[in-house]
Amino acid sequence: MPQRDPEPGEGILAGITGPEHLRRLGNDELRRLAEELRQRVISVVSRRGGHLASNLGMAELTIALHCVFDFSSDRLLWDVGHQCYAHKLLTGRRDRFDALRQAGGISGFPDPSESDYDLFATGHAGTAISTAMGLAWADKRGNAARKVVAIVGDASIVNGLSLEAINNLGRLGRQFLIVLNDNSMAIDRTQGGLADVLDRIRMTHTYSGLKQSTERILQRLPMGEEVTEAIRHIKDGLRTTIHGGGIFESLGISYFGPVDGHDIPTLIRTLRALSDMDRPALLHVHTEKGRGCQYAVEDPCRFHSTSAYRVEAGQAVFAEPGRPGWTEVFAKALIAEAQTDSRVVAITAAMPDGTGLAKFRERFPDRMIDVGICESHAVAMAAGLAKGGLRPVVAIYSTFMQRAMDQVFQEVSLQHLPVVLCMDRAGLVGSDGAVHHGMMDIAMLRPMPGVVLAAPADAAEMAAALRFALAGDGPTAIRYPRDTVPADLPGACPAFELGRARIIREGPDGTLLCYGTTVEPALSAATILSQQRQAEVAVVNARFAKPLDAALITRMIQSGKPMLLCEDHAVAGGFGSAVLELAADRGLRAENVRLVGMPDRYVSFASRREQLTEVGLDAAHLSAAMWDLIRAERHAAQAR
């Protein structure tokens, strides 16, 4: 008879009061606990959405880490942090876990405001070893004996930032443990030379091989004081068994492994032995992405991060999306361009699925490059491709494009090369929260001379913007949100012309001047104003944040009629700021102009709709804000 999964109020997990409790459990109980953690994660993620496959692989390793270390004082750093669900369940957040990624609930990433067990709010790859090193240095100076552990995935350890930290780590001269969680996957398959090395280690260690290599480590690692001396002694012996681990060894980091990441007793014994080392070490752990959940094991990429679903006959079933998303529309438009222009090539930094480039790869396998999680390299390489005569399109989420700003500056903008940056997830991103909002791309790119900034407002405009960008002789950045694409705008879509806005709706009483995606709520706001207030306002897609349609915007400001500048971006330094700079430059009185966008604080995780409402970018808030301006302007006119 298959066992019934425990309900949230029963089982071993229900009795866990804190990580210290784990040390009182036997191996069988710990194994059952791992299963319970998985079932809890599946149950919540299937209803709330979230990161599934990586978390399922982390149950045993998380338990073992909490058994060996005391992270109420020792330091635990998660790289990216999307794999910390079991950690959350074991560190006091079990009862609130059902509200995962819901407004006011539990974050999908580590979050110090939730628990002292989370040291940094994270979400971007490659940071854990650096921040952990900083903590280790600080403790060394303060003579604190805390242990430091950084958990890093096989895709994140090849990130430039991780490698810079590893290069520096050999000099640390104190305990420091990197746990390399190797499941051979990023979101898609891990890319690159180091991935090949790890793959070779994986292939030479079948399950029984793993057992042997672990035994070899353990036999040679006596517990207690002599451990470091013993390790020094066995180094040569080990080196012959470690293959690719030599890379770390040569950088002064002792390599151990690989070990089976689902074998709790072995993990505990190995971690305990390594916890006493007085210098940096790396434990290479093999885990299975999607462990214990058939559909996630079969398609770990699909279930890396998932929306809510229901299970029917053992398969996950998703609600049909009402309309296509921006990602899909972008991929379609790019494929169409690539069909007529053989110079077009596409680059992703480990996100072929998320950016839509997986579709492009199906159609043009030789013209898509996945560089791994290294956005800076992606952009610098795109500069080389452009110089070499190709037309590179780099598709990166806005939040991750931040990593590549120096390359956009020096390699792309300064050389004025025709690189097209397509920034998905630009704007509020919903349940991933503050670590993933695309809130600063305009502000970061706007100061770079020669960079054109464009934003489409519907599917036809996406195709037109891309066509325009690919025809240009310099860099263009196109931004679009994590959302479904709105219904087609009225009328035929005019081609994108440099610095020309598109008037979508006319109206004498004021203007909602939008940048891209905010056109949709602005059109609804205009309808509300027309129906409820008999006020007729214009709706315009500026299309370009740089260069602005200076002539049109000047006329609109000079009319003295109210204007709302609406953008799904931080108000500071964004599109609205560009308009106000124009006004100041031309000596225009912008007294009836207001900015709507993200405020100067981090907007927490919630649904994207809730977040848009929170910052005033929904139709109701826009119409109310516009009506306030219209009324004030009418009063002022009467008083004159």
What is d(CA 397, CA 606) in angstroms, rounded to the nearest whole number? 19
Which of 22, 42, 129, 186 forms a contact with ligand TPP (CB under 6 A)?
186
Choice among 93, 289, 359, 546 that is catalytic: 289
What is d(CA 9, CA 409) in angstroms, rounded to the nearest whole number? 54
User: Residues 201, 202, 207, CA angle at the centre, nearest 5°?
Assistant: 120
The minimum distance between CB 366 and ligand TPP, in angstroms, equals 23
Segment interacting with ligand TPP, rule: CB under 6 A, options 80-88, 314-322, 568-576, 585-593: 80-88
Contacts of 194 (CB under 8 A, 6+ apart): 157, 158, 244, 247
What is d(CA 170, CA 252) in angstroms, rounded to the nearest whole number? 4
Q: What letter represents residue 369's amino acid?
A: I
Q: Counting contacts by CB under 6 A, is residue 109 touching ligand TPP? A: no
Closer to ligand TPP by Cβ: residue 217 or 404? 404
Contact mark string toward ligand TPP, 249..288, x via CB under 6 A: ----------------------------------------
Q: Counting contacts by CB under 6 A, is residue 187 touching ligand TPP? A: yes
Closer to ligand TPP by Cβ: residue 95 or 164? 164
Q: Which of residues 316-375 bind ligand TPP (CB under 6 A)?
A: 349-351, 373
Closer to ligand TPP by Cβ: residue 215 or 298? 298
Cβ atoms within 10 Å of 499's Cβ, excluding its own? 17
Closer to ligand TPP by Cβ: residue 154 or 483? 154
Segment interacting with ligand TPP, rule: CB under 6 A, options 23-31, 184-192, 438-446, 574-582: 184-192
Q: Counting contacts by CB under 6 A, is residue 195 touching ligand TPP? A: no
Q: Counting contacts by CB under 6 A, is residue 124 touching ligand TPP? A: yes
Q: Which of residues 141-180 bind ligand TPP (CB under 6 A)?
A: 153-156
Q: Counting contacts by CB under 6 A, is residue 54 touching ligand TPP? A: yes
Is residue 403 annotated as a catalytic residue, yes or no? yes
Q: Which of residues 600-619 bind ligand TPP (CB under 6 A)?
A: none
The minimum distance between CB 88 and ligand TPP, in angstroms, equals 15
Q: What letter represents residue 48's amino acid?
A: R
Which of 88, 93, 94, 403 forms a contact with ligand TPP (CB under 6 A)?
403
Backbone conformation region of residue 616, classed left if phi is above 0, alpha if psi is from -120 to 50, else beta: left
Q: Counting contacts by CB under 6 A, is residue 75 touching ligand TPP? A: no
The total number of residues shown for the chain amounts to: 640
Q: DSSP characters for 219-251?
A: HH--SSTTHHHHHHHHHHHHHHHHGGGHHHHHT
Q: Counting contacts by CB under 6 A, is residue 131 touching ligand TPP? A: no
What is d(CA 529, CA 539) in angstroms, rounded to the nearest whole number? 12
What is d(CA 562, CA 33) in angstroms, rounded to the nearest whole number? 61
Which of 62, 83, 130, 476 forms a contact with ligand TPP (CB under 6 A)?
83
Choice among 269, 359, 403, 446 that is catalytic: 403
Contact assessment for residue 56 and residue 291, using Cβ atoms and an 8 Å cutoff: yes
Which of 38, 82, 269, 284 forms a contact with ligand TPP (CB under 6 A)?
82
Contact assessment for residue 10 and residue 61, using Cβ atoms and an 8 Å cutoff: no
Which of 34, 56, 67, 80 forms a contact with ligand TPP (CB under 6 A)?
80
Is residue 375 annotated as a catalytic residue, yes or no? yes
Burial of 297 (0-12, 13-18, 19+ CB in 10 A): middle
Q: Which of residues 282-301 bind ligand TPP (CB under 6 A)?
A: 289
Nearest CA to 60 out of 292, 236, 256, 297 is that of 292
Closer to ligand TPP by Cβ: residue 124 or 147? 124
The minimum distance between CB 218 and ligand TPP, in angstroms, equals 25
Total number of residues binding ligand TPP (CB under 6 A)? 23
Closer to ligand TPP by Cβ: residue 154 or 411? 154
Nearest CA to 366 out of 348, 387, 345 is that of 345
Is residue 88 annotated as a catalytic residue, yes or no? no
Strands 391-397 and 420-424: parallel
Closer to ligand TPP by Cβ: residue 153 or 562? 153
The beta-carbon contacts of 577-580 under 8 Å, at least 24 apart in sequence, are 577/443, 578/442, 578/446, 578/545, 578/546, 578/548, 579/513, 579/548, 579/553
Residues forming contacts to ligand TPP in the complex (CB under 6 A) are 54, 80, 82-83, 123-125, 153-156, 181, 183, 185-187, 289, 349-351, 373, 400, 403
* Catalytic (active-site) positions: 289, 375, 403
